[in-house]
């Protein structure tokens, strides 16, 4: 799929051209068969012109000249106004060429026609929604996709398009509604994604200090799937409630299951929220207690994973304790010779902070010899999207919880 799909995309226009030519050829043969009263000579000349137009259009497409291809197609529409598929091909061409307004007017004129069947009208409506979507007219795209669903509810692609839009604009209420609809229409299990969306809903309540509603939505999310982000939010709610023992054991559970999320956990716990000052202060106090607890625990295997060490080092640096950070990192590096690049970089930074320039230069040299990868902190293991920020939903491929730490072991 990885190789074939982009190839199909880049050659899509050529396919459309060839396909349309075949349709016109088919129509020509049908008309020939039913004996439309045109002189043979006239019919042949139309066919000849059409063939020439599509041959030209195809050549323009292959050579990448979409503007001229569209011009040739327009000529063909003048010749044979009843050929609906030509209109669709043309509309699609305009859209892929970025001429959204022309695409819109073609699809609108199709919808307005009286002599078309319902399948064609729904198809035109769907194309119109795609035009609005691609053109960035979000409200109109939503409205038009919804119109398509009013006529036919079983349109998986349309529902999925609505899901994507609502997730993009972070309207979690509607995103939830359409995911539920999708889980009924489509074959793919949506439980994980629904859980993520409900966590986002709960998070929005949390941020405004509505902890009761946040708890309710979160419990609903757990009913679908226990995602990492759901557990982190539950951890925050434990801290709000002051249930520190429960918070500690959930924290350890998270580290054991997903040691690589250690750094994210603290970043998430540090996120700001609106509430009475007293609640915010208590939260901060309990959080610093949890942080101290984390910095002290040792022993278990999972506590020696690079991600856990890295987040300890970063926390200690934030707390202005570079000496302690260095101690932890040095001990770890001595025990693990196949160390990660990220940890090595932290090590060099600490050596510089602590004034040991000679050791810093030596370590930098050995690092540079082995440095091959790009140095963003995170990437998506689905599509390879790179970022230093944390993303629970990949901005590129829209998958959930595909984020990975970048390191070399
Ligand atoms: Zn991705």
Query: What is the whole-number distance in angstroms between the Cα of residue 183 and the centre of ligand 1?
Result: 22
Query: Cα of 232 to ligand 1 centre, how many Å?
Result: 21
Residue 26 CA to ligand 1 centre (angstroms): 43
Calculate how far, in angstroms, residue 1's C-alpha sits from the geometric centre of ligand 1: 16
Residue 145 makes CB contacts below 8 A (sequence gap 6+) with 126, 129, 133, 158, 161, 162, 165
SS3 content of the chain, % helix, strand, coil (to 5): 75, 0, 25
Of all residues in the chain, what percent carry a pLDDT higher than 90? Answer: 40
Q: Evaluate whether 115 touches 123 at the Cβ level (below 8 Å).
A: no
Task: Give long-range contacts, CB 8 A cutoff, 24+ apart: 276-281.
Answer: 276/209, 279/209, 279/240
Q: How many other C-beta atoms can be found within 10 angstroms of the C-beta atom of residue 82? A: 8
Distance 394 CA to ligand 1 centre (A): 5
Query: In angstroms, what is the span from residue 400 Cα to ligand 1's centroid?
Result: 8
Centre of ligand 1 to C-alpha 19, Å, is: 33
Q: Looking at residue 234, what is its pLDDT?
A: 96
Distance (Å) from CA 257 to ligand 1 centroid = 22
Instruction: Provide the residue ranges of all domains of the chain, joining segments of one domain with +.
Output: 1-97, 116-165+173-182, 195-304
| Distance (Å) from CA 397 to ligand 1 centroid | 4
377 alpha carbon – ligand 1 mean position (Å):
15
Separation between Cα atoms, residue 143 and residue 138, nearest integer Å: 9
Distance between the two ends of the chain, CA-based, in angstroms?
A: 29
**133-160 pLDDT, tens digit each:** 999 999 999 999 999 999 888 899 999 9
| pLDDT confidence of residue 205 | 95
| The two structure tokens encoding residue 393 | 């939903």
Ligand 1 center to residue 44 CA distance, Å?
Answer: 53
Q: pLDDT, tens digit, for every residue of 48-105? A: 666 666 677 777 776 777 777 776 766 665 555 567 888 898 899 999 999 999 899 8
pTM beyond 0.85: no
- Distance, in Å, from the CA atom of 239 to the CA atom of 247, rounded to the nearest integer, reads 6
Q: Which of 260, 264, 234 is nearest to 249 (CA)?
A: 234
Task: Report pLDDT for 65.
Answer: 74
């Amino acid at each position: 799929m990885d190789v074939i799909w982009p190839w199909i995309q880049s050659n899509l226009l050529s396919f459309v051209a060839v396909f349309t030519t075949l349709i016109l050829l088919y129509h020509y043969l049908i008309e020939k068969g039913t004996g439309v009263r045109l002189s043979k000579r006239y019919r042949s000349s139309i066919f000849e012109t059409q063939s020439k137009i599509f041959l030209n259009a195809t050549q323009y497409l292959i050579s990448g000249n979409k503007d001229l291809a569209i011009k040739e197609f327009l000529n063909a529409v003048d010749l044979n106004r009843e050929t609906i598929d030509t209109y669709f091909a043309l509309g699609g061409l305009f859209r892929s060429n970025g001429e959204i307004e022309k695409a819109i007017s073609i699809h609108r004129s199709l919808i307005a026609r009286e002599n078309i069947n319902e399948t064609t009208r729904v198809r035109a409506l769907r194309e119109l929604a795609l035009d609005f979507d691609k053109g960035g007219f979000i409200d109109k795209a939503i409205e038009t996709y919804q119109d398509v669903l009013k006529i036919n509810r079983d349109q998986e692609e349309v529902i999925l398009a609505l899901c994507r839009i609502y997730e993009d604009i972070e309207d979690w209420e509607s995103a939830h509604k359409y995911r539920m609809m999708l889980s009924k229409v489509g074959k793919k299990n949506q439980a994980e994604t629904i859980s993520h969306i409900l966590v986002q809903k709960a998070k929005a309540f949390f941020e405004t200090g509505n902890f009761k509603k946040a708890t309710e939505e979160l419990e609903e999310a757990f009913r679908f799937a226990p995602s990492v982000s759901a557990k982190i939010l539950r951890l925050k709610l434990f801290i709000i409630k002051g249930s520190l023992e429960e918070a500690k054991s959930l924290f350890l559970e998270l580290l054991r299951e997903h040691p690589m999320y250690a750094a994210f956990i603290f970043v998430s716990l540090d996120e700001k929220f609106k509430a009475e000052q007293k609640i915010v202060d208590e939260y901060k106090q309990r959080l610093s207690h949890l942080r101290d607890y984390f910095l002290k625990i040792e022993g278990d295997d999972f506590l020696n994973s690079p991600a856990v060490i890295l987040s300890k080092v970063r926390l200690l640096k934030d707390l202005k304790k570079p000496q302690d950070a260095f101690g932890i990192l040095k001990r770890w590096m001595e025990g693990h010779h196949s160390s990660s690049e990220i940890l090595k970089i932290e090590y060099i930074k600490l050596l510089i902070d602590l004034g040991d320039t000679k050791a810093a230069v030596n370590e930098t040299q050995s690092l540079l010899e082995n440095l091959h990868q790009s140095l963003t902190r995170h990437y998506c293991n689905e599509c390879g999207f790179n970022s230093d920020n944390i993303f629970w939903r990949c901005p590129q491929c829209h998958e959930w919880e595909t984020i990975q730490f970048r390191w070399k072991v």
